[in-house]
Structure 1
Amino acid sequence: MTTFRPVLASLAAPVAALMPLLALAAYELNSPVIIINGEADDAPQRALGLLLIGLPVIYVVLALVAFIVGWAFIRIGLVSLRRFILGASALAVLLAIPFGLVGSNPSQYGLQDLALALTAFCGIFLLMAVPGAVCWWYVAKCHLTFRSSGPPSAPAEL
């Protein structure tokens, strides 16, 4: 019964983490199709379709990552909300760097494209990581407050 709250938190955190992405998807769903040189540019609608098709897999992967990262944060002592958010933010930035490097093409567009891609991925990952971390921490808070990291300490002798 002690792992029920972190498991529940790991199932709820991806919902909160995906909210900014789903808000962007809802915006794209309501945007009109752009006509460029007489041809319809429906790339945003196709990307939305791919997102909706891949959403179950993304949810399961994020739930697994949330459980592993939350468990690791508890193990290394990031138990307070502030430290939990800082850890999630640091991890989001560290994960955004390889995505930004892959998502840019500095050989063709220069370092400005690299900086833009890194900034965009860092922003997206932070917008997803912080709500997910807050949700995970609040749902698993009961487990965090009663968990002891070591043997009970004896009262200090005077």
Structure 2
Amino acid sequence: ASAEQQTFAVGDTVRMRGLTTVGTVETVQGKEATVVFGDVRTKVKTSRLEHTVKKPESTLPATFAISRETRQTIDSHKLNFHQDLDVRGMRGDEALNAVQHFIDDAILVGMSRVRILHGKGNGILRQLIRQYLLSVPNVTSCKDEHVQFGGAGITVVDF
């Protein structure tokens, strides 16, 4: 079934496309659902969700500590999350690895826009990063930053 046709009901076990964190649907309103990931409640477009058979952490026995840690981790990520990632001077695989973690975190803490600073150079990092971003279902667009803010040396990513 395509994302448009999937329907979600209260109590469904879901995860965000491209992520491993499992949550439970709390409410559904039109094309938006409120999902509880551990102890974190987040509004998500249903097109970004997919059904999963994995159980959310909080329903497993003896995982109270884990779900609390998860919540604290997400809270501290939110506090310490910087919307810019600088990968200038990194090798391709290093930069890609950093970008993957950065994008996962950005999605988890609910960012709507982030920036990746890769410099202009030969454009290889930019190309690698763009190819990866285009494969992430949650990314709605990635484009060069406005010329006066860094142009082609910076990719702006929208979710």
With structure 1 as the length reference, what TM-score do the two structures score? 0.28
**Greater RCO (CA < 8 Å, at least 6 residues apart):** 1
Structure with the bigger percentage of helix: 1
With structure 2 as the length reference, what TM-score do the two structures score? 0.28
Q: Which has the larger radius of gyration?
A: 1
Structure with the bigger percentage of strand: 2
